[in-house]
Structure 1
Amino acid sequence: MHMQLPPHEGAEISVVEMHTGGEPLRVILSGYPEVKGESLLDKRRYVRQHLDKLRRALMFEPRGHYDMYGALLVASELAEADLGVLFMHNEGYSTMCGHAVVALGRLAIDYGLVKEPRSPETQVNIHCPCGLVKAFVEYSAGKTGGVRFHSVPAFVFATDMTVTVEGFGEVTVDISYGGAFYALVDAQRFGLDVTQSRTRDLVAAGTAVTAAVKSQVKLHHPTSDDLAFIYGTILTDGKDQYCNDATANLCVFAEAQVDRSPCGSGVTARVALQYHKGLIQLHQTRSFQSGATGSLFTGKAVQETRCGDFKAVVVEVAGRAFYTGASTFIQEPDDRLTGGFLLS
């Protein structure tokens, strides 16, 4: 029997629930008010200023949780884009999200956002706030499968930069951009192991590094000031030299949020850093493992390019996403907690 919604007042918001490598994605299909703005970055500013109550209602408890992640489908101003997307999480609106791109590649075909999909692979152009991302979705006998994507040019902002981290003293980090800026540091610097240590200890170290970079480093991005912020810290197992074994990492982003997947934009940033340091060559595929769940993405640099004054690379990341369900959310007007809450 198909469940009917309970008696309620007000709007309904319909979502599809997915995950990529264990990292959730709540894709908002309908029920959102119109998002105004000429460009996608304008729309990102608009939702932040005018519709943030809905982000909190959908990401926070009781409908979500501290580590929930969302995607809002919007119109794109780019003619070649099949869809535009705004990403949301516990702290705000990110500029790039690889795990979401992997999931949205499948969804775009399955929900008819791409006309006439082709076998064995269909290209889906996804306009993210950081720029146009090209996803390539396995498609056979009407079914979607694995997804690989080429992100915006990835580059290294700084290597061997020393910051003073509260509780840990001076720490040397690299800063790399994979659609968002990350600080990267070996977890051993904190006496931690990304696959064995308690998540809360890894989060404490990652959050402290992010806070230090935020307060001590002035970032800039060649194409937009909207992109010039530190998004999080990636703690690694130190295995940056190319080899056949998977290298593990844990990404702590936004407000101490933990990525359950290997982190698509984080893998992009790591590949750019390894290429910059001469540790990996073009078209050498590496496996990247999530320290949280053990799930795997692959990543490789496929082309040299530029981003403003920075030498950059186009990175290809591949993974798989799965559907977990669909929901319709309501907000009862006399519910004191309907706007959402988080337990820290």
Structure 2
Amino acid sequence: MTSSFQSPFQEDVNISTIEMHTAGEPLRIITSGFPQLNGTTILDKRKYLKEHFDHYRKLLMFEPRGHFDMYGVLLVAPDVDGADIGAIFLHNEGYSTMCGHAVIALGRYAIDHGLVKNPTSPETRVGIQCPCGLVEAFVEYQPGGSGCEEGRTGAVRFQSVPSFLFASEAVKSTVSISHPDSDDLAFLYGTIITDGKDAFSDKVTANVCVFADRQVDRSPTGSGVSARIALQYFKGHIGLGQSRTFESGATGSVFTAKAVQEVTCGEFKAVVVEVGGKAFYTGGNTFTLEREDTLGHGFLVQ
């Protein structure tokens, strides 16, 4: 019997990755074997990847190499001043515009793998261009070791693009979403379930973030706590520089976060939020695909 299966890959595949986690949430960093992306800007490259190479996302995020809640990142050349690296994020549904846990891990990865020249102690700045814009990470740096030994604390803080309260309605269908910078950023990405302690600024507050296609974040979620800080700030529960601790309802891991500056984003009042956490290495892989392996192209059991 002749199989009708048509592989989207033209040849056998070999892709190398470095594996990390931030507060329990995995990050698969693609280091080699991925095709070149066309495009001038990072949003152009993200669109090109989605339209032409989405089968690579499924190959690396789905089973048998990944799982329903796997998360990954592809490094690309940045196209804005101040960026050391560019990052396109991958998950079970598609492509994030921002990912805080990935930024924390990438900050450490960039130092350890020589992507930032002349790192300084006790902290080194790493500029990471995400699809949402330039994010600045500050990595605790301990010179004198080799490779990942130099960043053994794993501690990273980052300041993201402005966060703002777009609307406080609870029903998605009643809100028409827009973004002042790009229509590519105008969508509802996730839902955060909290313990209701927004107004209790002196207490640790827990949350669980469900994003993409029902993917559950193991960490407190960097972009999620940025959104919660913006909400609490504009409701008057916290002030500038007032730090809060956010706990993951899934693993008990924690991030700290605070609003450090009030700015504007288009017509919206916004805040720059600083988030802190730790990232660690878990290993490395070389993944292969034989074109005749139909299951090896990726599948999900839900």
For the residues of structure 2 that align with 1:11 and 1:339, how far apart are their CA atoms?
10
CA distance in 2: counterparts of 1:222 and 1:333, whole angstroms: 43
Matched, 1:241 2:199: yes
Alignment match, 1:311 = 269
1:28 corresponds, among 22, 27, 30, to 30
> TM-score, normalising length from structure 1?
0.81
Conserved 8 A contact 2:13-2:290: no
The whole-number CA distance in structure 1 between the counterparts of 2:174 and 2:45 is 29
CA distance in 2, matches of 1:153, 1:14: 34
Q: What SS does structure 2 have at the residue aligned with 1:44? A: helix
What is the root-mean-square deviation in Å for CA atoms of aligned residues?
1.0
Q: Which runs of 5+ in 1 are unaligned?
A: 1-8, 164-212
Aligned to 1:229: 187
> For 1:26 and 1:106, how far apart are their aligned partners in 2?
14
Q: Does residue 339 in structure 1 map to residue 272 in structure 2?
A: no
Assess if the C-alpha contact under 8 Å between 1:242 and 1:280 holds in 2: no
Q: Matches of 2:49 and 2:20 in 1, distance apart?
A: 22
**Aligned residue in 2 for 1:114:** 116
Q: Output aligned runs, 1:24-173, within 5 Å.
A: 24-142=26-144, 143-144=150-151, 145-159=154-168, 161-163=169-171
Q: TM-score, normalised by structure 2?
A: 0.93
Deviation at 1:242, TM superposition (A): 4.2
Q: CA deviation at 1:44?
A: 0.7
Q: For 2:14 and 2:115, how far apart are their aligned partners in 1?
A: 22
Find the counterpart in structure 2 of residue 17 from structure 1. 19
Q: Say which SS state the counterpart of residue 299 (structure 2) adopts.
A: coil
The aligned amino acid for 1:95 is T
Q: Does the 8 Å CA contact 1:123/1:135 hold for their aligned counterparts?
A: yes
2:6 paired residue number: none
Q: CA deviation at 1:245?
A: 2.3
Query: Do the aligned residues in 1 keep the contact of 2:155 with 2:279 (CA within 8 Å)?
Result: yes
Greater shift in the superposed pair: 328-337 or 284-293: 328-337
Aligned to 2:7: none
Amino acid aligned to 2:131: P
CA distance in structure 1 between the aligned counterparts of 2:176 and 2:17, rounded to whole angstroms? 37
Q: What is the CA–CA distance in structure 2 between the aligned matches of 1:96 and 1:225, rounded to whole Å?
A: 15
Aligned to 2:147: none
Q: Return 5+ residue gaps in structure 2 as ranges.
A: 1-10, 145-149
Distance 1:162 1:325 in 2: 41
Equivalent AA in structure 1 for residue 166 of structure 2: F
- Could you tell which deviates more after superposition, 97-106 or 74-83? 74-83
Equivalence for 1:326: 284
Once the two structures are TM-superposed, the CA of residue 11 in structure 1 deviates from its matched residue by 3.0
Alpha-carbon distance between aligned partners in 2 of 1:38 and 1:313, rounded to the nearest angstrom: 29
Deviation at 1:122, TM superposition (A): 0.1
Q: CA deviation at 1:247?
A: 0.2
Match of 1:280 in 2: 238
Offset of 1:162 from its aligned partner? 4.4
Moved over 3 A (4+): none
Q: Within the alignment, does 1:257 sit opposite 2:228 as a pair?
A: no
Cα deviation digits, residues 140-174 of structure 1 (max 9, x gap)? 13411300000000000012x142xxxxxxxxxxx
1:238-259 Cα distance to aligned partner (Å, 9 max, x none)? 0002433210000000000000
- Percent identity of the aligned residues? 65
Tell me how far apart the structure 2 counterparts of residues 62 and 280 of structure 1 sit (CA, whole Å): 45
Contact 2:201/2:237 (8 A) holds in 1:
no
1:220 aligns with 2:175: no
Query: How far is the alpha carbon of 1:76 from its aligned partner?
Result: 1.1
Task: Provide closer, same or farther for how the CA distance between residues 103 and 162 of structure 1 changes in structure 2, counting only shifts above 3 A.
Answer: closer
